[in-house]
A and B are shown apart, each in its own frame.
Chain A
Amino acid sequence: MTTRQALRVNPAKTCQPIGAMYAALGINRCLPHSHGSQGCCSYHRSHLTRHYKEPVMASTSSFTEGASVFGGSPNLRQSLKTIFQVYDPDVVAVHTTCLSETIGDDIPTIVKKAADDGIVPEGKWVIHASTPSYVGSHVTGFSNMVKGMASYFTRESSVKHKDQVNILPGYVEPSDMREIKGMVSEMGLKPLVFPDTSDVLDTPKTGEYHMYPRGGITVPDLMKTGSSLHTMALGQFSSLDAASYMDHKANVPFTLVDIPIGVKATDRFLQGIMDATGAEPTGSMLDDRGRLVDMMTDYQHYLYGKKVALWGDPDQVISLAEFLVSMGMKPVYLVTGTPGKVFEKRLTSITSDGNFEPVIAQNQDLFYLHQLIKNEPVDLLMGNTYGKYIARAEDIPFVRYGFPILDRAGHSYFPSVGYRGGMHLLSTIVNTILDRMDRDAPEERFELVL
Chain B
Amino acid sequence: MSDLKTGPGVDLDEFIEETISIYPAKVAKKRRGHMLVRDGGQEGLNQTINANARSVPGIITQRGCCYAGCKGVVIGPYGDMVHITHGPVGCGFYSWMTRRNLFRPGPDKKNYSQYCFSTDMQEHDIIFGGEKKLKQAIREAYETFRPNAISVHATCPVGLIGDDVAAVAREAEKELGVKVLAFNCEGYKGVSQSAGHHIANNRLFSDVVGTKDQAVEGYSVNVLGEYNIGGDAWEIERVLEKCGIKVAATFSGDGKYETMTYAHMASLNLVMCHRSINYLAEMMETKYGIPWAKVNFIGIRAMSKSLRKIAAFFDDPELTSRIEQVIAEEEKLALDGIAPYRARLEGKTAMLFVGGSRAHHYQDLLRDLGMIPVAAGYEFAHRDDYEGRQALKDIKLDADSRNIEELKVNPDPDRYRPRLSPEKLEQLEKDKVLKSYDGMLPDMPQGTLVVDDISHVELERLILTLKPDLLLSGIKDKYIIEKFGVPSKQLHNYDYSGPFAGYRGAVNFAGEIDMMINNPAWKLVSNPFKRKPLLQAGLGTDQ
Contacts and interface: CB of A to CB of B under 8 A. Distances in A.
A83 B475 contact: no
Given A46-B476, A80-B58, A11 B485 contact: no
Interface stretch (A131-139, A167-175, A219-227, A255-263): A131-139
Contacts of A39: 64-68, 91, 156, 187
Contacts of A99: 156-157, 160, 187-188
B60 to A, nearest CB: 5
A383 to B, nearest CB: 15
B87 interface: yes
B68 A102 contact: no
Contacts of B475: 46, 49-50
A367 B144 CA distance: 11
A61 B121 contact: no
B117 interface: yes
A63 B160 CA distance: 13
A338 to B, nearest CB: 11
Interface string B87-129: 1111111111010000000000000001111111111011000
B57 A60 contact: yes
Contact of B525 (A33, A49, A205): A205
B519 interface: no
Interface stretch (B132-140, B337-345, B412-420): B132-140
Given A103-B160, A206-B527, A7 B117 contact: yes
A15 B140 contact: no
Contact of A38 (B63, B123, B126, B133): B63
B24 interface: yes
B478 A49 contact: yes
A37 B186 CA distance: 10
Interface in A59-96: 59-68, 75-76, 78-83, 85-87
Interface in B153-205: 155-157, 159-161, 186-192
Contacts of B159: 68
Contacts of B66: 39
B122 A207 contact: no
A13 interface: yes
B403 interface: yes
Interface in B58-77: 58-68
A375 interface: no
Contact of B480 (A11, A37, A209): A209
Interface of B: 22-24, 27, 54-68, 84, 87-96, 98, 114-123, 125-126, 133-137, 139-141, 143-144, 155-157, 159-161, 186-192, 399-400, 403, 456-457, 460, 474-476, 478-480, 482-485, 525-527
Interface of A: 2, 4-11, 13-18, 33, 36-40, 42-47, 49-50, 53-68, 75-76, 78-83, 85-87, 97-99, 102-103, 132-135, 137, 203, 205-211, 337, 367, 386, 389
26 contacts: A6-B119, A7-B84, A8-B119, A15-B89, A36-B156, A44-B90, A45-B476, A55-B479, A58-B60, A59-B59, A59-B60, A61-B57, A66-B399, A68-B186, A75-B57, A79-B58, A81-B58, A85-B22, A86-B59, A97-B156, A98-B157, A103-B160, A134-B88, A207-B483, A210-B483, A389-B114
Given A8-B120, A55-B480, A63-B188, 16 more contacts: A2-B144, A6-B136, A7-B141, A8-B117, A9-B116, A13-B93, A43-B91, A56-B476, A65-B399, A68-B156, A82-B23, A102-B156, A102-B157, A132-B126, A135-B122, A135-B123
